[in-house]
Amino acid sequence: MHISIIGTGYVGLVTGACFAEFGIFVTCVDKDRDKIEKLKKGIIPFYEPGLEDLVKRNTKEGRLKFTTNIEKAVENSLVIFIAVGTPPRGDGSANLDYVEEVAKEIAKNMKSYKVIVTKSTVPVGTGFKIKDIIKRHLEKPVNFDIVSNPEFLREGSAVEDFMRPNRVVIGAQSDQAIAIMKDLYRPLYLLETPFVITDIQTAELIKYATNSFLATKISFINEISALCEAVGANVNVVAKAMGLDGRIGPKFLHAGIGFGGSCLPKDTKALVKIAEERGVPLRIVNAAIEANENQKERLTRKIMEAFNGKIEDKTIGILGLSFKPNTDDIRESPALFIINRLLKEKVKIKAYDPAAIENTKSVFPQIIYCSDAYSVAKEADGIVIVTEWNQFRNLDLNKIKKIMRDKFFFDFRNIYEPEKVRQLGFKYFSVGRV
């Protein structure tokens, strides 16, 4: 089967490379010439474990192609995935300009039956909107179907998530489209992956409901972490015991500095907006968003209060800039929030991240970037673990203590044992543990 993926961003590129790995002939289309030229040479514009190998191998074996020519790609494909960005507008709603533009382009170049699939996270009702746009822009009558096939890829483990998903969701109106989609995902049938076949609007909502629920779980445990601090309880133990209840499950119950990234913050706000437009209050999702802002605020205040408000001219070292480990993505990263606040207090910031320094430089050119955790700690008054990269889990704390000026240690991912760190002589602060 030949398919095309329009948009070679994060979702598009992972989807294209993984389908090629399944043995399908994939053409990835993007209007950014420079990006396409780089991709042809196997240069990936972002960091994602395993993706470069996949792209290089499938390109070499002739199953993966890159082009700026949408016309040819549409003509040669039975299935066309729309995987362009849906960035948030000022009011939290998703901006569908790119999706609509692509729908028009597809329509203009359609000469035979096609299945048009939305992979981008789009508001409920977008599938029908796309159908309408395509109908209006067809140059001659051609039969086609619309499918919603949301992605659930986590940055840092996107390839694994694609190859071994918890489920595949397919929303469609026609049996023919469903059969084609099932055929495309056939390798996953062999792994007994559950398939949820439903209508288009339900599939669209599943994505938002899933991400909003995950965000709610995180915000729940983060609010409990504040209460743990107030009553002297340990949030890690609370979360562990809660997670052992099969009805709750252990995942997404790690208290920390709050959720960030390109999906959870954007999708929660977009869902609230979708619901508002229909007069349906989503109080819980709203509260999850608010609690997340509050957690970033509360923990940043913790740093300032540790210094009794006299933080001006102190040097604080930030360990981890990406919103989570194994990615260079800094979108909505809590690290940016903390840095921004501390800079306002005239704090001197040093920072290190294994992958996200380049991206952060464009936001904060004025801070000092270091080559590892130890150069961050050198002559710092305090260090803050913001992202739980593996290399921060086993730091030589004796060495760090010796090279720091003062000994404030803020572990906002709870990766160290409070007692052990305090015994070494640090003034240690974490989340939901006293």
Of the pair 159, 311, the CB lying nearest ligand UDX is at 159
Task: With beta carbons less than 8 A apart as the criterion, state whether 64 and 15 touch.
Answer: no
Least separation in angstroms between CB 153 and ligand UDX: 5
At which residue do the structure tokens 């921004």 appear? 340
The rounded distance, in Å, linking the Cα atoms of 140 and 298 is: 59
The rounded distance, in Å, linking the Cα atoms of 404 and 94 is: 45
Residues 6+ apart with CB under 8 A from 96: 86, 122, 123, 126, 129
Sequence letter at residue 106: I
Look at residue 168 and give its three-state secondary structure: strand
Least separation in angstroms between CB 68 and ligand UDX: 27
Which residue, among 407, 405, 406, 411, has the nearest Cα to 429 in the 3D structure? 411
Least separation in angstroms between CB 249 and ligand UDX: 11
Which residue, among 14, 16, 12, has the nearest Cα to 3 in the 3D structure? 16
280: tokens are: 């349906």
The rounded distance, in Å, linking the Cα atoms of 80 and 339 is: 42
CA end-to-end distance (rounded Å), the chain? 58
Of the pair 109, 300, the CB lying nearest ligand UDX is at 300
Least separation in angstroms between CB 218 and ligand UDX: 5
Of the pair 228, 264, the CB lying nearest ligand UDX is at 264
Least separation in angstroms between CB 252 and ligand UDX: 4
DSSP secondary-structure letter at 366?
T
Of the pair 317, 334, the CB lying nearest ligand UDX is at 334
Of the pair 106, 153, the CB lying nearest ligand UDX is at 153
Q: Is 263 a catalytic residue?
A: yes
Task: With beta carbons less than 8 A apart as the criterion, state whether 336 and 356 touch.
Answer: no
The rounded distance, in Å, linking the Cα atoms of 2 and 157 is: 26
Which residue, among 87, 47, 53, 50, has the nearest Cα to 357 in the 3D structure? 47
> Which of 18, 28, 263, 370 is labelled catalytic?
263
Of the pair 149, 211, the CB lying nearest ligand UDX is at 211
123: tokens are: 């508001």
Of the pair 105, 267, the CB lying nearest ligand UDX is at 267
Neighbours of 139 (CB within 10 A): 10
Residue nearest ligand UDX, Cβ-based: 263
Give the alpha-carbon dihedral of 318, 321, 323, 325, to 10 degrees. Answer: -90
Per CB under 6 A, residues contacting ligand UDX are 151-155, 211, 214, 218, 252-254, 256, 259-261, 263-264, 323-324
Give the sheet arrangement for strand 195-198, strand by strand.
Answer: 64-67, 25-29, 2-6, 79-82, 114-118, 144-148, 168-172, 195-198
Least separation in angstroms between CB 51 and ligand UDX: 14
Give the CA radius of gyration of the chain. 24
HSE at residue 231, side-chain half, CA atoms within 13 A, is 9
Least separation in angstroms between CB 22 and ligand UDX: 19
Of the pair 65, 119, the CB lying nearest ligand UDX is at 119
The rounded distance, in Å, linking the Cα atoms of 163 and 15 is: 10
Least separation in angstroms between CB 2 and ligand UDX: 26
Which residues are part of the catalytic machinery?
263
